[in-house]
Amino acid sequence: MKQQNNSTTKQQRKSLMLKDLVLIGIFDVIYLVIIMACDCMGIVPIMYLIYPTIAAIIAGPLVLLFMAKEQKMFAFAIFGIIPPALTFLLGNTYVVLVIVIITTLLAEVLRKIGNYSSFTWNTLAYAVYSLWIPGVLSQMIFVRERFLELCKPMGDAYIAQLVQILTWQSLILVTIGAIVGAIIGALIGKKLLKKHFVKAGIVA
């Protein structure tokens, strides 16, 4: 009987519970606020080139704290898909949805490889996940007309600048910037949240 109770307890520790879903929701709200605040940089089109890097840096400590608190299978997958899915519902195209599904699932696999407690693998997972941010800008390449239509309220001059700025070449640099930003954000998070990492058993 005692052995059965221990087995049930272990299963509960591995399974997502209501409190986990609530925590995911709280972290998602904060993450969305950060991303939306950074997105305001896009009022000046040229700033889109550094927006993914800045967003990944600022959100880094938050995401790494979430990873320290939630070391259960699929916790990050749920956390990761919600924010981009909301941007899709608000008007972005299927491109964003496809990219985020791929990056989130890859991030979940990387966390699993590190047994959810490796700082190195969690950082790699966050770097891969952060690629959904430049993925929003990649709509200029994959669904150009629809993306420009979404930007119409900003005016013709704004659209003309976007056309000049968002090219294949610049998007490659933006993507690299997002990866670098995620790594920097994770390292800042490690320094700021050292006590949480130790308690959660996060190792380098």
Q: What is the pLDDT of residues 28-79, one digit of tens each?
A: 999 999 999 999 999 999 999 999 999 999 999 999 999 988 999 999 999 9
Q: Which pLDDT does position 202 carry in this prediction?
A: 62
- 194 vs 177: CA distance, rounded Å: 25
Q: What is the mean pLDDT of residues 14-18?
A: 85
Q: Establish how many alpha carbons lie within 13 A of residue 15's alpha carbon, considering only the half-sphere containing its beta carbon.
A: 8
**In this predicted model, what pLDDT tens digit does every residue of 82-119 receive, in sequence order?**
998 898 888 889 999 999 999 999 999 999 999 998 99
| Helix, coil or strand: residue 139 | helix
- 158 vs 150: CA distance, rounded Å: 12
pLDDT band at 6; cut points 50, 70, 90 = very low
**In this predicted model, what pLDDT tens digit does every residue of 109-151 receive, in sequence order?**
999 999 998 999 999 999 999 999 999 999 999 999 999 999 9
Q: Note if the pTM is more than 0.85.
A: yes
pLDDT band at 195; cut points 50, 70, 90 = confident
CA distances from 87 to 6, 7, 73 (A): 42, 40, 25
- 159 vs 162: CA distance, rounded Å: 5
Q: Which pLDDT does position 119 carry in this prediction?
A: 92
How many C-beta neighbours within 10 Å does residue 111 have? 26
